[in-house]
Structure 1
């Protein structure tokens, strides 16, 4: 089962990475066009700033899930040398499950906010705030999934041998 979950995690992370990269590239293109129009032609569009802001919210939430999966979040490992190796896996799993609980709360509250946003639309894009606020529960759900997979891995296999931050493992 763990092998299936890890493969599913890899597939989801790949799709998430592609979506985040496309959104980030869209932000760059939209803002570049806006700058060229504003300074080159003394004309500006009303929607690029709003669109780039909303896309960046999605990029941050999707990128956060990639950071969780790749274990690129900040950690304090000063006392790890004093723990037996097997206990580290249980300790890490315990902390991951605590974080999963927080992410579950974020998922529920974020979905409540998204539902609340159904009644409003953004000023320039005339887009329902539901789609903007939906970034929070989607990102929280992805982070929660990856956190649970890592907790299961820690319980079953023990801690990963390489736990240092590495730019080579970073997706985004």
Structure 2
């Protein structure tokens, strides 16, 4: 079961990474075109800043899930050498489940915000705020999934002492 979850987590992370890269590349292209138009031709479009801002929100939420999966969030591991390895697994699983609860709250509140956004549209793009606010529950759901997979792994295997290079780590 753990291998299946790891494989599913890898597939979800790869898909998320591709989407985040495409969105980030879109931001770069949109802003480049806007700068060229503004300073080269003294003309600017009304929508690029808004589109770039909304895409960056999506990139941050998708990227956050990759950080959770690769255990790149801030942690204090100074005292870890004093704990028995098995206890570290239980402690990490406990903390991951606490974070999963927090992410569950973020997921529920994000869904509420997205539903509230159905009644509004953005100024320049005339896009429903639902799609912008949807980034929060989608990102929270992805983070929650990866956090639960890591908690299950910690419970059954214990913490990884030697972490292999992942797609995200290889890029940094």
Deviation for aligned residue 1:162 = 2.7
If the length of structure 2 is used for normalisation, what is the TM-score?
0.96
Note closer, same or farther for the CA distance 1:171–1:151 as it changes in structure 2 (3 Å cut).
farther
Matches within 5 A, 1:58-69: 58-69=58-69
State the distance in 2 between where 1:77 and 1:84 align.
13
Note closer, same or farther for the CA distance 1:26–1:81 as it changes in structure 2 (3 Å cut).
same
Name the SS of the counterpart of 1:42 in structure 2: coil
State the distance in 2 between where 1:82 and 1:165 align.
25
State the distance in 1 between where 2:63 and 2:122 align.
24
Matches within 5 A, 1:144-159: 144-159=144-159
Q: When the two structures are aligned, how many residues end up with a matched partner? A: 172
Note closer, same or farther for the CA distance 1:17–1:161 as it changes in structure 2 (3 Å cut).
same
Cα RMSD, aligned residues only:
1.8
State the distance in 2 between where 1:167 and 1:76 align.
23
**Structure 1: stretches of 5+ with no match in the other structure:** none
Name the SS of the counterpart of 2:26 in structure 1: helix
**Counterpart position of 1:37:** 37
Note closer, same or farther for the CA distance 1:95–1:171 as it changes in structure 2 (3 Å cut).
farther
Deviation for aligned residue 1:169 = 1.9
Q: Deviations over 1:61-115 (max 9, x none)?
A: 0000000000000000011111111000000000000000000000000000000
Work out whether residues 70 and 168 of structure 2, in 8 Å CA contact, stay in contact via their aligned partners in 1: no
Name the SS of the counterpart of 1:159 in structure 2: coil
Q: Deviations over 1:29-49 (max 9, x none)?
A: 000000000000000000000
**Counterpart position of 1:27:** 27
State the distance in 2 between where 1:143 and 1:11 align.
14
Work out whether residues 58 and 135 of structure 2, in 8 Å CA contact, stay in contact via their aligned partners in 1: yes
State the distance in 2 between where 1:75 and 1:163 align.
15
